Amino acid sequence: MQAARAILGSALVYSFANAFTAAVPILLLPLLTRILSPADYGLVAMFGLLVQLLGAITGLSVHGAVGMRYFERESLDFPRYVASALCVLAVSSVVVLVAVLALMPLLEELFGLPRFWLIIGVFASAANFVTQIQLSIWQSARRPVRFASLRIGQAVLDLAATLILVLGLAMAWEGRTGAIAAAAVLTGLAAAVALRSSGWARLPIDRAYMANAVRFGAPLVPHALGGLLVASIDRLMITNVLDVANAGIYFVAVQIGLVINLATDAFNRAFAPWLIESLKTASAQRDRLIVRATYGCFALLLAGGLVVGLLAPYALDVAVGPQFRAAGELVIYIAIGQAFGGMYYLVTNYVFFAGRTGRLALVSVSAGLLNVALSYFLLTRYGLVGAGIAFVAAQMLLFAGTFALAATSHPMPWLSAFRSPSPTSPQP
């Protein structure tokens, strides 16, 4: 009971941080959709996608290793491990920057962004990674208030910079992308200071720790890229199959649908550390309760997706400019897809616990490639609605594949959780 209250309390803090973070782009919608054209808003979406794609490579996903090694801090020099992970970030970021410079003409055509913003995207993605390392530590240490303060701080910087650059300096889409980049860099600097001043990071680095972090994180790079193929590649497909203005309209629907994703993320950040520690000891009764709660969350997510999707068109009639109201019919697909994405979050913890990240990458890449193929096929026939349908299908495949992998990675009573235990069964 005490553990349940602790998880609920932490989840509320994470929920508040996520709600505030999600509220910033939603609060800006009435303003930006009346100042920016759909094409301008599409460029904002392309910059956000660029930062996400680069972020999947910079750092080689070693922030996940930092979060997991926190639970082993008694048997290793954890501050040196964190410093070594930051060194991996520095080296990989330089490699990514060189690759972006070498592929500049192709990336300009693909994303529709000027060269300057492609370079800025590298620095923003690297800064976000520093922030992720500090957030991973605070999540594992069960310090939700500090976690929330950093997330909210970045959201406040994003909001303030947007108002100054877009309204005050009339910089249009460059103002919005500049605000996103500035907030990322300033928050990354704050996270770096916190890591150093709190003693979480300490030199010298250790090559063995670097190798350990890379062994954990490198298999997650294909997984992260596969996840982006599922969650975000539709915007790039829309830009290149239709045009950047349609990507802007679709991006409005994505921002509304993210409400489901953020709610699940908040719960999972509170639930995952407790679950990982619980899985280290056997308890049949606790496992049954976990599975029952998980199935309950599945039902809530699907119901929430339906509610958001059905109510969104009425809200968008008021919230956005007339050029963007076509996004209303797309939200139902985004919201249902995000519900399946939330269900994926709840089962992926078992795969991380078992260390089967390579197989998880196979599942996510498969779902991502399906999304690419379906998006192209359906976009050419049904327009933006086709992209929404492809998104739902890809999220369903990602969840189903990960659920199957979780069931084989760490056995849980997925089929017997609601049965009463036999009187002769040994009690935990």
pLDDT for residue 117: 94
Checking if the pLDDT of 329 tops 60, the result is yes
Same domain assignment for residues 89 and 166: yes
Structural domain ending residue among the three candidates 185, 218, 251? 218
Structural domain ending residue among the three candidates 177, 198, 218? 218
**Which two structure tokens, joined as six digits, stand for 274?**
């407790």
Same domain assignment for residues 261 and 355: yes
Rounded CA gap, 28 and 155, in Å?
12
pLDDT for residue 5: 61
Same domain assignment for residues 235 and 348: yes
Residue 428 lies in a domain: no
pLDDT for residue 191: 92
Residue 87 lies in a domain: yes
Residue 283 lies in a domain: yes
Checking if the pLDDT of 7 tops 70, the result is no
pLDDT for residue 186: 95
Q: Which domain holds residue 367?
A: 1-21+227-419
Mean pLDDT, all residues of the chain: 82
DSSP string across 106-128: HHHHHH---HHHHHHHHHHHHHH
Cβ atoms within 10 Å, residue 314: 10
Same domain assignment for residues 207 and 353: no
Cβ burial of 109 (10 Å; 0-12, 13-18, 19+) is exposed
Residue 105 lies in a domain: yes
Percent of the chain with pLDDT over 70: 92
Same domain assignment for residues 261 and 384: yes
Same domain assignment for residues 297 and 375: yes
Residue 40 lies in a domain: yes
Residue 427 lies in a domain: no
pLDDT for residue 104: 92
3-class state of residue 242 by DSSP? coil
Same domain assignment for residues 213 and 263: no
Residue 426 lies in a domain: no
pLDDT for residue 23: 74
- Do 330 and 253 form a contact (C-beta atoms < 8 A)? yes
- Do 1 and 248 form a contact (C-beta atoms < 8 A)? no
Number of separate domains in the chain: 2
Checking if the pLDDT of 184 tops 90, the result is yes
Highest mean pLDDT among 77-86, 94-103, 301-310, 365-374: 94-103
Residue 155 lies in a domain: yes
- Do 43 and 110 form a contact (C-beta atoms < 8 A)? no
pLDDT for residue 161: 93
Q: Which residue has the tokens 């460029």?
A: 43
Between these two residues, 425 and 211, which has the higher pLDDT value? 211
Kindly state the average pLDDT of the residues 183-192. 94
Stretch among 65-74, 182-191, 219-228 having the lowest mean pLDDT: 219-228
Kindly state the average pLDDT of the residues 244-253. 86
Same domain assignment for residues 14 and 101: no
Same domain assignment for residues 12 and 61: no
Same domain assignment for residues 191 and 61: yes
Between these two residues, 1 and 281, which has the higher pLDDT value? 281
Same domain assignment for residues 394 and 247: yes
pLDDT for residue 156: 92
pLDDT for residue 424: 47
pLDDT for residue 253: 85
Q: What is the pLDDT of residues 213-243, one digit of tens each?
A: 888 777 777 767 777 777 777 888 888 888 8
Rounded CA gap, 110 and 120, in Å?
16
Nearest CA-CA partner of 220 in 420, 42, 359:
359
Kindly state the average pLDDT of the residues 116-133. 92
How does residue 421 score in pLDDT terms, banded at 50, 70 and 90? low
**Which two structure tokens, joined as six digits, stand for 361?**
């990458």
pLDDT for residue 425: 46
Structural domain ending residue among the three candidates 192, 218, 244? 218
pLDDT for residue 10: 66
Nearest CA-CA partner of 261 in 158, 366, 337:
337
Same domain assignment for residues 235 and 188: no
pLDDT for residue 138: 87
